Amino acid sequence: MAATKWTVQQIPSQTGKTALVTGANSGIGYQAALELARHGAHVLLACRNAAKGLAALERLKREAPGAAAELVEVDMASLASIRSFATAFAGRGIPLDLLINNAGVMALPKREVTVDGFERQFGTNHLGHFALTGLLLPQLLAAPEPRVVTVASLAHRNGKIDFDNLQSERDYKPLGAYGASKLANILFAKELDRRARAAHSKLISLAVHPGISMTNIMVNGPGTKNLQAIVLRILAPIIIQPDDAGALPTLYAATSPDAKGGEYIGPDGFQEFKGSPVVVQPRANGLDEAVGKRLWTVSEELTGVVYPALG
Ligand X SMILES: NC(=O)c1ccc[n+]([C@@H]2O[C@H](COP(=O)([O-])OP(=O)(O)OC[C@H]3O[C@@H](n4cnc5c(N)ncnc54)[C@H](OP(=O)(O)O)[C@@H]3O)[C@@H](O)[C@H]2O)c1
Interface residues with ligand X (CB under 6 A)?
22-23, 25-29, 47-49, 52, 75-77, 102-106, 124-125, 151, 153, 209-210, 212-213, 215-218, 246
CB of 22 to ligand X, least distance (A): 6
CB of 10 to ligand X, least distance (A): 22
Q: Based on CB atoms, which residue is closest to ligand X, 240 or 310?
A: 240
CB of 246 to ligand X, least distance (A): 6
Q: Based on CB atoms, which residue is closest to ligand X, 126 or 201?
A: 126
Q: Pick the catalytic residue: 30, 178, 252, 264? A: 178
Q: Order of strands across the sheet with 264-267?
A: 68-73, 42-47, 18-22, 98-101, 147-151, 204-208, 264-267, 277-279
DSSP 220-279: HSS-SSSHHHHHHHHHHHHH-B-HHHHTHHHHHHHH-TT--TT-EEEE-SGGGSSSSEEE
CB of 193 to ligand X, least distance (A): 19
- The yes-or-no answer on residue 178 being catalytic is yes
Q: Based on CB atoms, which residue is closest to ligand X, 75 or 310?
A: 75
What spatial distance separates the first Cα and last Cα of the chain, rounded to whole Å?
Answer: 31
Count other C-beta atoms under 10 Å from residue 233's C-beta: 13
Residue nearest to ligand X (CB): 27
Give the separation between CA 140 and CA 211, rounded to whole angstroms: 28
Give the separation between CA 19 and CA 68, rounded to whole angstroms: 10
Report, as residue numbers or ranges, the catalytic residues: 178
